[in-house]
Structure 1
Amino acid sequence: MPTTDLIKASFAALTAKKSGPTLYDLCDPLLRGGGPGDAHLRTFYGTAVANPVLRPLMGRAGLPALADPDRFAALQGAIRSARDDAAPDWAAIGREIAPLIDAVPQRHPRRPPLAGTPAMPALAEVDRVIRACAHHLLGAFTRNKGFIPAYAAFNLIGDPDFHGRDLATALVGLNARTYKNATLLFNLARAFILPNRPIAALLNPAWSGFAEPMWEPVQIRHRSAYYDAFFAEALMDYVGSGLATPDETARSKTAIAGMIEFCLATSREEVRHPVDGTPFPVVTALVRPPDVRMSKFFWKLKSDLGFGTYVPDCDTTACSLSAATQFGSADPILDQPFLDFYAGYQVRPGSNREPPSVDINDPLDFSGGIVTWIESAAGDRPFGNDLDPTLNLDVLEAAFRNHARWDIVGTPQRLDFLRGVVAFHDRLIGSGLFADPRAHIYYLPELYAAYFGRCLAAFRAMPADIQAKIDPQARFAAMRLAILDYVHHDLAAHEMNPFDAALALLALAKLGGDRARYAPALDCILRSVGEGGRKGPFKAYEWNKMKTPTRILVGGPEVTSAFVLSALAHARTALARSA
């Protein structure tokens, strides 16, 4: 948001007319300061919701509906139950707040169709941007003394796909009480923000394209193996493009090796197979200081607010294994039969495994899919469990890259597992639900489309007989056409920001889309170079997100550069083939 617009929006929000009881009228008597009940709920309220920065703003956000004394009392009763009860009825608490959230429906941006088709740019212009993005990544690795950062930003407006009924689902399905507390209070604050337009406009300004820009002033820098695997793959694309100088190639390989080591060694954690107890090394989502590279202030704040426990996940493990395989790593972790481990987290009717407890991406049929979170060795699983479609693509992609090492069709059980995951994606894509943002937990449909292309490329690189065993009905061919139709007629046919354009281009290049349709995405990227100012060629955009405890976006200028670099590199190769 430009400075002048920010000043105007702040003035409008701070001078908005108070139109009913506020969040603080409701909660201060119950949660401010010390007192009985759950201490964490009080701490979270004082730190995250009732802090001196938000008070002047949220103190103007009144709700006329709460002028009804009975409704006000009922809502206070729900908060009191969350504070005082040893085992609160979280479903009832969620149902009490749900109508307030649903009173102001949200939606994703409606992108206007593109007007006309721009000319295809010269390859020299494409090469110039690829080099600029690589320079940004390598410079960030050096400046940050051995890593490339990503950033997290809280958005109090909440996720458009997270409805009132989802709050009740999440409060019941999440395991850690601290995480339930955070979800409760963030969504309660959201219920006061949404109907107060000046305040909502300040916290969630309009944007162009699909992926949300990360404009928020407070962004938390951190490091994760998931990010390192992604950045390593982008730098491998740069080396493979043939554009890197000998010095850049050496620097890139040094950076990649360091990031792979962070994934497989620093972030490694041993857990047990959820069914038979076999020990397995996996990759944790967030390591502890100093390796997390988060400031001491934010790490302490994170822990104080109840986010101190983090566990491994199937996605971080899969992406780390894939990046290591692509780089030619000989780490023994790659020799583990990971398909057998992932099978323990597959949703199967009639199995003894728990289904996803935070199933807020209904009405998906989860059968055959793999859930997100892996229990730590201590048995921790604070987020309950959910199931994300893009994660399932990452597991398939890692399996296809390691088809020989893991002998992925060597047993009936492994083949059955893979066919189950493929069937999950076939139903998702065949129904068209993959294009609905609500079907996704951590990503947008545009990223699913790009990652489907990545997965298909790995599938096609396997021997034909293995492809036929996994996909005897040629489902991948039909899925490819459906994803391409979405990219051609939706994603790349409407207004895009450079992050959207990079994902569209990646999908087109990986799936063999019509070369003429590259032009709008290429044009958007080239026109946007320089928008990042001193931080890089491009701005930070939404890469992935959490929907609980509120909408938490993850991305960064370096993330955008990495996606643009990979997209342009693959598009360049495809265009050269068609020349």
Structure 2
Amino acid sequence: MAFHEMASAACRALTARKDGPSLYDLCDPLLLNGAGNGASGDQHLGQFYRTALANAALRPLLRRTGLSELNDASRFAALRHALTQARDDERPDWAAIGQPVAELLDTVKLRHPRPPAVPPEGPPPGLSDIERVIRTCGAHLLRTFRNNGFIPAYASFNLIGDPDIHGREFLMALTGLDARGYKNSTLLFNLARTFIARSPVRDLINPSWKGIAEPMWQPIQIRHRSAYYDAFYIESLLGFVESGLASREESAAAKRAISAMTDFCLGASRERVRGVDGRDFDVVTAIAPAPHPRFSRFFAQIKQTLGFGLYVPDCDTTACAFSAAAQAGSSDPMLDQPLPDFYSGYQVKAGANAPKVTVAINDHIDYDGAIVTWIDNINGDRPYGNDLDPTLNLDVLEASFRNLARWKILETPERLDLLRGIVRFQKNLAANGAFAEPRSHIYYLPELYCAYFGRCYAAFMALPEQARAAIDPDGAFGFIRERVLAYVQDELITHEMNPFDAALALIALGHLGAEVSTLTPALHCIVRHLGEGGRHGPFKAYEWNKMKTPTRILVGGPEATSAFVLMGLSLARAALKRT
């Protein structure tokens, strides 16, 4: 968003005509000064309100954002009563509390990006231009690691929320989440969404952008470290070394960074949990205990106040960390654990969407055969309830393919059945086209699903033919490949892209063996945008993954963009050199 556009949007928000009670008219008497909160109640709701919504930056923008229906005294009173219950009741009835908020939320009209079609471009950029971008991105990652001792990612909040969270999905989340602090933040963020989306503040908080992946333009970005990100950075730096474009010094620096990040994934981020069968396993948690995540003191406190005090391990971070460590040649005994035995306790079977999935906001898809997201810690905590994401399940497959012999998957019928169940789940997504719908995904874009399917497909095709036939006797991978290629070729690359979109397209097309000519639009997009990141890096920060609850929280960063661009261009370069 240009400065003049931002200034204009801010001016409209500050001078808007107020046509009903505002968020602060509703909440201040209940939450601003710690009113209520008896011994049986909850102090966190007021803390969250004061930190996230009633702060000095947001209050001037929202103080004139009124809702006309709240002039109805009965509706206003119903909301007040719901907030009072959430604040004071020892065991709140969250379905009843959420109902008046859900009714307001259903008046919000948001939509996913719809980039315009673009005409075909000429011949692809030259190899020298592509190699220059690869070297620039590799140098950016290594420089960041040298300066920080790690490669960060950033989280930022988009208070407009996610287009897929309506009243129904909000109630699902509110009742399916476990931690009260997380319920509180979900309640108040979604209440605020209505005031934001139906006022001029909308244009300031949620400006339009080019392409699919959302740019992380928000001024508040929380820098942190996670094993999930380190695992991907390991793969990216391995690709940089294997490309042959890194200098001798860069190759040595990349290997040192890879070793350090592998140690972080399998060491500082390791957590002991108990499987459903009673056996103990070492898994990988997304946010390791302090000080490993590298939050600033300021944001560490805010994280706690916003309801993110307790993190638990997850199936995705564990799979990605195991895969990256295996690719890096790690001999850590942790990798010898047969993860399919552990994952079997988190697999949904016989089409039953419950009780494993408590936050079923994408329940239009059939979960049969898939793995849920969150792993109970050793104390049995699961603060986010549980949900199910298709892309996560690709990562479980990819890690299993890379460790097929180590885990004796083909020799163990139960382990083989687990993989076949996930493959069946993925084939169903492709058959009905659900993989291309944003609402099917909890943490990722459909475009990222396509890139990660390409990565998974490459690992699958690297297996011996006999192994592939045992895992996929019905040819599901070939079927999914055709559907994903069609989506990328007919939809993604024929419309306006930003560099992150283009990198995802190249990763999918490169791994899936697409015609070289299809690489051209994405290559031009990336080369054309080199330098857009200014002092932060070669490219801007874009949405890599997200959370839809408690509001739309994006995670990415300029380093993440560099990593994806590096991987996409490396695959494209190899394809071009083969022609």
**Structure-1-length-normalised TM-score:** 0.98
Once residues 177 and 328 of structure 1 are traced to their aligned partners in structure 2, the CA distance between those partners, rounded to angstroms, is 42
Once residues 122 and 326 of structure 2 are traced to their aligned partners in structure 1, the CA distance between those partners, rounded to angstroms, is 38
> Quick check: 2:131–2:245 contact (8 Å CA) kept in 1?
yes
Residue aligned with 2:493, SS: helix
Q: 1:110 aligns with which of 93, 106, 114?
A: 114
Deviation at 1:117, TM superposition (A): 2.5
Once residues 243 and 517 of structure 1 are traced to their aligned partners in structure 2, the CA distance between those partners, rounded to angstroms, is 24
Question: Which residue identity does 1:565 align to in structure 2?
Answer: L
1:151 aligns with 2:154: yes
Match of 1:242 in 2: 244
Deviations 1:441-468 (A, max 9, x none): 0000000000000000000111111110
Deviating more after overlay: 318-327 vs 82-91: 82-91
The ranges of structure 1 where at least 4 consecutive aligned residues each deviate by more than 4 angstroms after the TM superposition are 350-353
Match of 1:5 in 2: 5
Residue aligned with 1:264, SS: helix
Aligned residue runs from structure 1 range 250-265, under 5 A: 250-265=252-267
Deviation at 1:157, TM superposition (A): 0.3
Aligned positions, number: 575
Match of 2:14 in 1: 14
Once residues 365 and 355 of structure 1 are traced to their aligned partners in structure 2, the CA distance between those partners, rounded to angstroms, is 13
Once residues 247 and 291 of structure 1 are traced to their aligned partners in structure 2, the CA distance between those partners, rounded to angstroms, is 27
> Quick check: 1:358–1:384 contact (8 Å CA) kept in 2?
yes
Deviation at 1:30, TM superposition (A): 1.3
1:384 aligns with 2:388: no
Q: 2:270 aligns with which of 263, 268, 271?
A: 268
**Pairwise CA RMSD:** 1.2
Aligned residue runs from structure 1 range 351-362, under 5 A: 354-362=355-363
Deviations 1:169-200 (A, max 9, x none): 0000000000000000000000111111x200
Match of 1:163 in 2: 166
Once residues 551 and 104 of structure 1 are traced to their aligned partners in structure 2, the CA distance between those partners, rounded to angstroms, is 14
Once residues 453 and 415 of structure 1 are traced to their aligned partners in structure 2, the CA distance between those partners, rounded to angstroms, is 21
Match of 1:462 in 2: 463
Match of 1:120 in 2: 124
> Quick check: 2:362–2:442 contact (8 Å CA) kept in 1?
yes
Residue aligned with 2:554, SS: strand
Residue aligned with 1:543, SS: strand
Match of 2:307 in 1: 306
Once residues 410 and 494 of structure 2 are traced to their aligned partners in structure 1, the CA distance between those partners, rounded to angstroms, is 39
> Quick check: 2:319–2:396 contact (8 Å CA) kept in 1?
yes
> Quick check: 1:92–1:168 contact (8 Å CA) kept in 2?
no
1:63 aligns with 2:67: yes
Question: Which residue identity does 2:307 align to in structure 1?
Answer: G
Aligned residue runs from structure 1 range 17-28, under 5 A: 17-28=17-28
Deviation at 1:95, TM superposition (A): 2.1
Residue aligned with 2:111, SS: coil
Deviation at 1:387, TM superposition (A): 0.3
Deviation at 1:7, TM superposition (A): 1.9
Once residues 144 and 353 of structure 2 are traced to their aligned partners in structure 1, the CA distance between those partners, rounded to angstroms, is 47
Match of 1:173 in 2: 176
Once residues 342 and 462 of structure 1 are traced to their aligned partners in structure 2, the CA distance between those partners, rounded to angstroms, is 21
> Quick check: 1:264–1:320 contact (8 Å CA) kept in 2?
yes
Once residues 139 and 5 of structure 2 are traced to their aligned partners in structure 1, the CA distance between those partners, rounded to angstroms, is 32
Residue aligned with 2:154, SS: strand
Once residues 461 and 231 of structure 1 are traced to their aligned partners in structure 2, the CA distance between those partners, rounded to angstroms, is 22
Deviation at 1:350, TM superposition (A): 8.6
Aligned residue runs from structure 1 range 30-429, under 5 A: 30-37=30-37, 38-144=42-148, 146-196=149-199, 198-273=200-275, 275-349=276-350, 354-429=355-430
Question: Which residue identity does 1:417 align to in structure 2?
Answer: L
> Quick check: 1:347–1:370 contact (8 Å CA) kept in 2?
yes
Residue aligned with 1:545, SS: strand
> Quick check: 1:497–1:524 contact (8 Å CA) kept in 2?
yes
Once residues 529 and 116 of structure 2 are traced to their aligned partners in structure 1, the CA distance between those partners, rounded to angstroms, is 18
Deviations 1:133-190 (A, max 9, x none): 001100000111x100100001100001111111100000000000000000000000
> Quick check: 1:509–1:571 contact (8 Å CA) kept in 2?
yes
Deviation at 1:351, TM superposition (A): 8.3
Deviation at 1:35, TM superposition (A): 2.7
Question: Which residue identity does 2:348 align to in structure 1?
Answer: V
Deviation at 1:416, TM superposition (A): 1.1
Once residues 390 and 85 of structure 1 are traced to their aligned partners in structure 2, the CA distance between those partners, rounded to angstroms, is 38
Residue aligned with 2:543, SS: coil
> Quick check: 2:29–2:35 contact (8 Å CA) kept in 1?
no
**Structure-2-length-normalised TM-score:** 0.98
Question: Which residue identity does 1:364 align to in structure 2?
Answer: I
> Quick check: 2:352–2:367 contact (8 Å CA) kept in 1?
no
Once residues 59 and 575 of structure 2 are traced to their aligned partners in structure 1, the CA distance between those partners, rounded to angstroms, is 53
Once residues 325 and 184 of structure 1 are traced to their aligned partners in structure 2, the CA distance between those partners, rounded to angstroms, is 41
Deviation at 1:76, TM superposition (A): 1.2
Question: Which residue identity does 1:394 align to in structure 2?
Answer: D
Residue aligned with 2:46, SS: helix
Deviation at 1:297, TM superposition (A): 1.0
Provide closer, same or farther for how the CA distance between residues 350 and 200 of structure 1 changes in structure 2, counting only shifts above 3 A.
Answer: closer
> Quick check: 1:118–1:523 contact (8 Å CA) kept in 2?
no
Deviation at 1:353, TM superposition (A): 7.9
Once residues 463 and 339 of structure 1 are traced to their aligned partners in structure 2, the CA distance between those partners, rounded to angstroms, is 20
Once residues 364 and 491 of structure 2 are traced to their aligned partners in structure 1, the CA distance between those partners, rounded to angstroms, is 22
Once residues 118 and 93 of structure 1 are traced to their aligned partners in structure 2, the CA distance between those partners, rounded to angstroms, is 57
Match of 1:576 in 2: 577
Deviation at 1:94, TM superposition (A): 2.0
Residue aligned with 1:392, SS: helix
Provide closer, same or farther for how the CA distance between residues 321 and 68 of structure 1 changes in structure 2, counting only shifts above 3 A.
Answer: same
> Quick check: 2:351–2:367 contact (8 Å CA) kept in 1?
no
Residue aligned with 1:553, SS: strand
Deviations 1:41-100 (A, max 9, x none): 111111111111111111011101111111111111111121122222211222211121
Gaps of 5+ in 1: none
Question: Which residue identity does 2:7 align to in structure 1?
Answer: I
Deviation at 1:352, TM superposition (A): 12
Question: Which residue identity does 1:375 align to in structure 2?
Answer: D
Once residues 463 and 551 of structure 2 are traced to their aligned partners in structure 1, the CA distance between those partners, rounded to angstroms, is 41
Residue aligned with 1:544, SS: strand
Deviations 1:192-226 (A, max 9, x none): 11111x20000011100000000000100000000
> Quick check: 1:93–1:168 contact (8 Å CA) kept in 2?
no
> Quick check: 2:353–2:363 contact (8 Å CA) kept in 1?
no
Residue aligned with 2:346, SS: coil
Question: Which residue identity does 2:243 align to in structure 1?
Answer: S
Deviation at 1:431, TM superposition (A): 0.6
Provide closer, same or farther for how the CA distance between residues 350 and 434 of structure 1 changes in structure 2, counting only shifts above 3 A.
Answer: closer
Deviating more after overlay: 540-549 vs 353-362: 353-362
Once residues 372 and 246 of structure 1 are traced to their aligned partners in structure 2, the CA distance between those partners, rounded to angstroms, is 40
Deviation at 1:29, TM superposition (A): 1.5
Question: Which residue identity does 1:500 align to in structure 2?
Answer: D
Residue aligned with 2:289, SS: coil
